[in-house]
Structure 1
């Protein structure tokens, strides 16, 4: 479906950028029912919503005119949660409204406020900024809101999550009552609905399904891994895909620092994004990714909010996200603007059920497999070498002279081998990894609230922590699964005593558990098999036992 009739200046801008058909969110906001009205739009990141609200407010800003009036007090205000997103919006609206003669200003943290103040004083048409900086300009009377015809709240749910409610309410209270308010949010929790009811009038609510576009260009992969090989699988996945830019998500700052160090040591060009970085360090990291000096970004969810990386072809979840919504936010950074992308989840056996539940809630189908094997990557390297442009480009006369000199001294096969070796040394070596081969894709059994079925033959173990060490089944169970490379179904009763904990492992997994536990994690946690079941199976004194079933139900 082509775009409907648009102001000539914007139609020209879209044509220059190769926009032939609107995305679903763009088509939705351009329906006649929304003309001139406030809009409450739920749409996923990467769905083309910046251009969508740029087009939605075109009639309000331009009317019947082909160009905007001379710059003065701003006509439109766009509020975004992060500096990176605001600058991205600034770039998008600058080209979209460029043919209409627009002057677009960005007001964000980390930039010179005096320069922003001068630009506002000289006159602008559209202001894009973050809540804190915009409030600061309003309080200092640098920003005149009296002529505003449209206000846009972009990623409104993230702004509330980041604690900007008070700033938003202050900003909206200064704007004219007759303005249009366009509110865009990936989700519509109660806080967003309450904000809309307070500051919008007769808003048209539009829900654009994520499945319409959000997953169409993303290939989801779920990789079975051993927990101790997580870093090695990240290495092989980066080497297998060879995306121009890739982002690897971790759940903590410490994990980001550790993985960045590991990948740098392996020979990748890596930057990290986490909450501990200053704005200058963050800017430098993003610039390195944009100009190609770095190819891999390791980040936490919070630190990666609002960033848009060109050529991002691969997202790796080194640690599973907390929920399906976060999975979609992470993955939605690739597969944009018609480009294909890959989202790879690294799943140990102990997290299989959680990964399958999360994928089901997100409405996506992932291809399950083992991690990329080293031999496959070596074969890919050979194929890539045969297609390398350096072999197909026309050599210069100087190149031919050097080639003749080399051939006089060395044989052709020796030269080819040296060239292959040189190319190979420039690439991080693939790692030998293991496919744990656990079963996937079987129906998810409902969690049981009644008595557990008989556990069957088992081996009892003793762990050197107990009640005095604040041992708790809710923390012990995932730790045992992770370090012992077993599933929750393979762990039986957990009995906590004052100075130790006794637990049972299903007989078929006991040998694997004993072998794996000592090889992973800190050495101060130690387990040993008990000589017989009788002592461990004897019910402890009242108050010294916490059944693992309770932990499972809460988990």
Structure 2
């Protein structure tokens, strides 16, 4: 299959050739034809499967082949709503690549920066608006952003939108869109809330699912280290003596944990920067640019901030904290081993994270190979830690044996 067979117009094919893209990914191959035909679409696909082009190429083609506004001023004809600033910027960069031979204009509306330039872009007139919910709501309330002419609405990373608490903002924005529109809806996972949204927003949608979330790339080598929480930093520093780890994306569970880890690595003279929601947009972009250029060896990120980070040839992903949502593990390690390359995923597991590990291994249907020969082994064996307590242990803890045998309460680290 080639892009030519998807009936894309010459300006788009020329742009794709300039980017050396010749063959569509599975989601592009399945999504582009119905999207070009104007159908509503629900795509379930992980990060890295090519879904951005799956919705951008049809948008560029459909808007390029339409006549402009009768009064001459450009109006927002497509809205792409996305959860994070990084993802919005990535989508904008992709639009500039794929739409470079079109006459369409786009703008990015995100928080964390001055809104003056964003106001000016909207005043000049744009065809495609790429936005995060918070800043878009602000500009709508000020009467600056008009969504009444939107023909194509894209809701990207819908599951992360819900995780970040954007459900009410999403509904307020959707209420301002024309009832007659095309909706393209993408999510990496399918919790019940997403199913409900799909049913309420889409009309007879084409449903596409590629790379099920339970699968992990065959090219990714996974390893696991059992380690006590205080020894995670020393273990990471020890592993980083391996010069083959040229660069790595390191995941922590919390923003404070990311900052704390960067301070520890910096003391050990290992270049690292954190990227999370408390950082300004400029600081986040600088950290990402430094990582891509090789100036920074480690990029330490929370899951929310990492959505939308697009890094080619990333060799290592390190789970400093195991995620408490199993699907998140698959998304994390899927950031390496892309485009036919090999990758390595290293995970640390402390005592409190053993229940998370069990859930992850159940989801991916495999045991993650354990590295037992390292300088900081867990002081209590993993097998003992995972076993339910005896009746005497449970009574000491003030719980019945039945209560003691359940999953430990998850807590933030």
Please indicate the TM-score interval, normalised by the length of the shorter structure: 0.7 to 0.9
Classify 1:189/1:211 alpha carbon distance in 2 versus 1 (closer, same or farther; 3 Å): closer
Who is 1:308 aligned against?
310
Q: Is the 8 A contact 1:349 1:485 kept in 2?
A: no
1:489 aligns with 2:342: no
Unaligned runs of 5+ in 1: 374-432, 437-479, 503-544
Classify 1:494/1:286 alpha carbon distance in 2 versus 1 (closer, same or farther; 3 Å): farther
Classify 1:139/1:233 alpha carbon distance in 2 versus 1 (closer, same or farther; 3 Å): same
Q: Deviations over 1:203-227 (max 9, x none)?
A: 2222223379962443322234455
For residues 142 and 351 of structure 1, what CA distance do their matches in structure 2 show? 47
For residues 48 and 11 of structure 2, what CA distance do their matches in structure 1 show? 24
Pairing of 1:97-108 with structure 2 (within 5 A): 97-108=99-110
Q: Which has the higher contact order (CA 8 A, sep 6+)?
A: 2
Q: Is the 8 A contact 2:112 2:280 kept in 1?
A: no
Q: Is the 8 A contact 1:78 1:128 kept in 2?
A: yes
Unaligned runs of 5+ in 2: 409-413
Who is 2:171 aligned against?
169
The alignment's TM-score, normalised by the length of structure 1, stands at 0.65
Q: Is the 8 A contact 2:39 2:182 kept in 1?
A: yes
Who is 2:411 aligned against?
none
Q: Deviations over 1:77-135 (max 9, x none)?
A: 11111111111111111111111122221111122212111111112221111112122
Determine helix, strand or coil for the equivalent of 2:387: helix
For residues 227 and 215 of structure 2, what CA distance do their matches in structure 1 show? 30
What displacement does 1:259 show?
2.3
Q: Is the 8 A contact 1:230 1:318 kept in 2?
A: yes
What displacement does 1:255 show?
3.3
Q: Is the 8 A contact 1:225 1:434 kept in 2?
A: yes
Who is 1:63 aligned against?
65
Who is 2:2 aligned against?
2
Determine helix, strand or coil for the equivalent of 1:13: helix
Q: Is the 8 A contact 2:313 2:337 kept in 1?
A: no
Who is 2:74 aligned against?
72
What displacement does 1:19 show?
1.3
What displacement does 1:495 show?
4.9
Who is 2:403 aligned against?
550
Pairing of 1:533-548 with structure 2 (within 5 A): 546-548=399-401
1:111 aligns with 2:113: yes
For residues 262 and 124 of structure 1, what CA distance do their matches in structure 2 show? 45
Picking from 208, 211, 218, the partner of 2:210 is 208
Q: Deviations over 1:474-495 (max 9, x none)?
A: xxxxxx958x994343953445
Q: Is the 8 A contact 1:107 1:134 kept in 2?
A: yes
What displacement does 1:358 show?
1.0
Determine helix, strand or coil for the equivalent of 2:303: coil
Q: Is the 8 A contact 1:46 1:214 kept in 2?
A: no
Pairing of 1:358-397 with structure 2 (within 5 A): 358-363=360-365, 366-370=368-372
Q: Is the 8 A contact 1:46 1:336 kept in 2?
A: yes
Who is 1:144 aligned against?
146
Provide the aligned C-alpha RMSD in A: 3.3
Q: Is the 8 A contact 1:350 1:488 kept in 2?
A: no
Who is 1:251 aligned against?
253
Classify 1:368/1:18 alpha carbon distance in 2 versus 1 (closer, same or farther; 3 Å): farther
Pairing of 1:320-339 with structure 2 (within 5 A): 320-339=322-341
Who is 1:11 aligned against?
13
Classify 1:289/1:494 alpha carbon distance in 2 versus 1 (closer, same or farther; 3 Å): farther
Q: Deviations over 1:29-84 (max 9, x none)?
A: 0245972101111111111111111123344323389x999871122111111111
The alignment's TM-score, normalised by the length of structure 2, stands at 0.85
For residues 196 and 32 of structure 2, what CA distance do their matches in structure 1 show? 25
What displacement does 1:162 show?
1.5
For residues 272 and 164 of structure 1, what CA distance do their matches in structure 2 show? 24
Who is 1:38 aligned against?
40
Who is 2:196 aligned against?
194
Q: Deviations over 1:121-175 (max 9, x none)?
A: 1122211111121222223232232332211011111112222222222222222
Determine helix, strand or coil for the equivalent of 1:172: helix
Which moved further from structure 2: 49-58 or 189-198? Answer: 189-198
Pairing of 1:480-519 with structure 2 (within 5 A): 481=380, 486-489=384-387, 492-495=390-393, 501=396
Q: Is the 8 A contact 2:64 2:103 kept in 1?
A: no
Classify 1:192/1:259 alpha carbon distance in 2 versus 1 (closer, same or farther; 3 Å): same
Q: Deviations over 1:423-469 (max 9, x none)?
A: xxxxxxxxxx2567xxxxxxxxxxxxxxxxxxxxxxxxxxxxxxxxx
Q: Is the 8 A contact 1:153 1:183 kept in 2?
A: yes
For residues 332 and 100 of structure 1, what CA distance do their matches in structure 2 show? 33
For residues 47 and 239 of structure 1, what CA distance do their matches in structure 2 show? 33
For residues 52 and 35 of structure 2, what CA distance do their matches in structure 1 show? 20
Greater Rg over alpha carbons, structure: 1
Q: Is the 8 A contact 2:235 2:376 kept in 1?
A: no
Q: Is the 8 A contact 1:224 1:370 kept in 2?
A: yes
Which moved further from structure 2: 300-309 or 169-178? Answer: 300-309
Classify 1:365/1:60 alpha carbon distance in 2 versus 1 (closer, same or farther; 3 Å): farther
Pairing of 1:80-479 with structure 2 (within 5 A): 80-210=82-212, 215-225=217-227, 229-240=231-242, 242-347=244-349, 354-363=356-365, 366-370=368-372, 433=375
Which moved further from structure 2: 144-153 or 68-77? Answer: 68-77
What displacement does 1:267 show?
1.6
